[in-house]
């Protein structure tokens, strides 16, 4: 009688489909996954400890490097947390600019999601399309702050400086061509039979279980939970804009994919409204030269492309924070990897990693 046994296969930390330096230790029965254990920490850079040795403004560039493809969002969350502690009110124009930047960054981040999921399934064309169109957004960011990825443009009290004169027409030009791009993606990738076959019906997670696991972001909304911090607990001026929150029904890979594609459309809607309503005025609040928040602690969270990004800052009244903790959505979402992978094949592990969309800079902090 032939005997089988479970064997261990290592995936990563250097692997084209693990979205960075993530190691997944797969216990396999043949090709079926019995257990998938994520092993993290290969990019642990001690950012929380570093914060204790830096002043509040000095720590801002480190937040860029957490979830490095959505740096605007990271900056926004941190700055709003410090502003909450300081009791600073940000000028209107700066709030609108922040929304435009954060939503442009959401589209850029989801384009990376689209590009990487395409290439994980073998479509190099999809990756080229995603990265090609992301370059258009990076040009907009470059125009504003000179950086493509690590901006620290959103500062404590506002933004670093006002947008140049040709920024608004450039964003409008991008938004005008964006629907055609989305159509191209849906035609090439979403409508592709192989793609749909690989995603639909796999790795389902129920709404209740997703909530128990602390999942947030598109991965949670794919299970049908209507929880988007921009709607539920609005920050900045998000409550002034009209947009819907795309939800899934089954919580499978396909829903997690589709929710992100639909979110890009909604982000474009928000940006258009923000451009139309962009008021004149200063872009920086009047603040003391040296930032010294009063002693106390505060927690603030925002809706980053990967989920709920939270900052918990404890101040001892000095110029440097006493403790900074960052609630990282990818780190907590990754807990679901094990139960999503059970019973599926190795190729599905790749699909699950792509749709959970973790980013290792954020996971390892």
Partner 1 sequence: MEIKDTVAKPESLLERNIIVTSIEQVLNWARSNSLWPLTSGLACCAIEMMSAAAARFDLARFGYEVFRPSPRQADLLIVAGTLTWKMAGPLKRLYEQMPEPKYVIAMGNCANAGGPFVDSSYTVVPGVDKIIPVDVYIPGCPPRPEALIQGLLELKKKIRHPEVARRDQHD
Partner 2 sequence: MTKQMMTKEELAELADRFTPAAEVSGDGVGCALVIAKDRLLELLRYVKEDAGCQFTMLSNETAVEYPEYFELVCHLYSCRRRQMLTVKARSGKDEATFPSLVTLWPGANFQEREIYDLMGLSFTGHPQLQRILLPAEFTGHPLRKDFKAAVHD
Binding site for partner 2 (CB under 8 A): 40-41, 44, 46, 48-49, 80, 83-85, 211-215, 227, 232-233, 235, 296-301, 308, 310, 312, 314, 322-323, 325, 327, 331-332, 334-335, 364-365
Coil, strand, or helix at residue 143? helix
Question: Which of 118, 210 has the CB closer to partner 2?
Answer: 210
User: How many whole angstroms separate alpha carbon 112 and alpha carbon 22?
Assistant: 17
Convert residues 2-31 into a mask of x (bound to partner 1 by CB under 8 A) and - (unbound): -----------xxxx---xx----------
The entry of partner 2, partner 1, none near residue 50 (CB within 5 to 8 angstroms by kind) is partner 1
In the complex, the smallest distance separating the C-beta of residue 105 from partner 1, rounded to whole angstroms, is: 13
Q: What is the secondary structure of 225-273 as a DSSP string?
A: ----HHHHS--TTGGGS-------SS-SHHHHHHHHHHHHHHHHHHHHH
User: Does 122 contact partner 1 by CB under 8 A?
Assistant: no
Please choose, from the candidates 324, 341, 332, 322, the residue with its C-alpha nearest in 3D space to the C-alpha of residue 362. Answer: 332
Please choose, from the candidates 177, 249, 170, 163, the residue with its C-alpha nearest in 3D space to the C-alpha of residue 206. Answer: 249
User: Does 286 contact partner 1 by CB under 8 A?
Assistant: no
In the complex, the smallest distance separating the C-beta of residue 355 from partner 2, rounded to whole angstroms, is: 18
Do the beta carbons of residue 207 and residue 223 sit within 8 Å?
yes
Question: Which of 15, 35 has the CB closer to partner 1?
Answer: 15
User: Does 132 contact partner 1 by CB under 8 A?
Assistant: yes
Question: Which of 21, 264 has the CB closer to partner 2?
Answer: 21
User: Does 112 contact partner 1 by CB under 8 A?
Assistant: yes
Parallel, antiparallel, or unpaired for β 32-39 and 7-11?
A: unpaired
User: Does 43 contact partner 1 by CB under 8 A?
Assistant: yes
Do the beta carbons of residue 59 and residue 74 sit within 8 Å?
no
Scored b (16 or more CB within 10 A) or e, 176-208 reads: eebeebbeebeeebbebeebeebbeebbebebe
* Range in contact with partner 1 (rule: CB under 8 A) among 38-46, 230-238, 282-290, 295-303: 38-46
Question: Which of 32, 150 has the CB closer to partner 1?
Answer: 150
User: How many whole angstroms separate alpha carbon 347 and alpha carbon 122?
Assistant: 11
User: Does 69 contact partner 1 by CB under 8 A?
Assistant: yes
Do the beta carbons of residue 176 and residue 115 sit within 8 Å?
no
User: How many whole angstroms separate alpha carbon 291 and alpha carbon 302?
Assistant: 22
User: Does 68 contact partner 1 by CB under 8 A?
Assistant: yes
Convert residues 138-167 into a mask of x (bound to partner 1 by CB under 8 A) and - (unbound): ----------xxx-----------------
The residues that touch partner 1, with contacts defined as CB under 8 A, are 13-16, 20-21, 41-47, 49-50, 53, 61-62, 65, 68-69, 112, 127-128, 131-132, 134-135, 148-150, 360-361
């Amino acid at each position: 009688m032939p005997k089988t046994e479970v064997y261990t296969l290592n995936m990563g930390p250097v692997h084209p489909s693990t979205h960075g330096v993530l190691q997944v230790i797969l216990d396999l029965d043949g090709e079926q996954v019995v257990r998938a254990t994520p092993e993290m920490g290969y990019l642990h850079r001690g950012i929380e400890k570093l914060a204790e040795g830096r002043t509040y403004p000095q720590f801002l560039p480190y937040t860029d490097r957490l979830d490095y493809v959505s740096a605007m969002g990271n900056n926004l969350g941190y700055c709003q947390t410090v502003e909450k502690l300081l009791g600073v009110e940000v000028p209107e124009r700066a709030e609108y600019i922040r929304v435009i930047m954060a939503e442009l960054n959401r589209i850029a981040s989801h384009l990376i999601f689209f590009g990487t999921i395409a290439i994980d399934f073998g479509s190099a064309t999809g990756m080229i399309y995603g990265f090609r169109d992301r370059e258009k957004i990076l040009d907009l960011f470059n125009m504003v702050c000179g950086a493509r990825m690590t901006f620290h443009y959103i500062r404590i009290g506002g933004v670093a400086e006002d947008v140049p004169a040709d920024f608004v027409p450039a964003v409008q030009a991008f938004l005008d061509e964006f629907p055609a791009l989305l159509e191209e993606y849906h035609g090439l990738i979403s409508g592709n039979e192989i793609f749909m076959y690989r995603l639909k019906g796999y790795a389902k997670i129920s709404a209740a279980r997703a909530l128990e696991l602390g999942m947030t972001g598109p991965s949670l909304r794919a299970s049908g939970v209507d929880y988007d911090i921009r709607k539920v607990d609005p920050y900045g001026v998000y409550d002034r804009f009209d947009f819907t929150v795309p939800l899934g029904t089954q919580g499978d890979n396909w829903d997690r994919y589709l929710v992100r594609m639909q979110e890009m459309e909604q982000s474009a809607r928000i940006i258009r409204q923000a451009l139309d309503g962009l008021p004149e005025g200063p872009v920086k609040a009047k603040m003391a030269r040296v930032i010294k928040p009063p002693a106390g602690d505060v927690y603030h969270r925002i809706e980053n492309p990967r989920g709920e990004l939270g900052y918990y800052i404890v101040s001892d009244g000095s110029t440097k924070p006493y403790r900074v903790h960052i609630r990282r959505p990818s780190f907590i979402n990754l807990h679901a990897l094990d139960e999503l992978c059970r019973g599926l094949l190795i190729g599905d592990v790749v699909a699950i990693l792509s749709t959970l969309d973790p980013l290792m800079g954020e996971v390892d902090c």
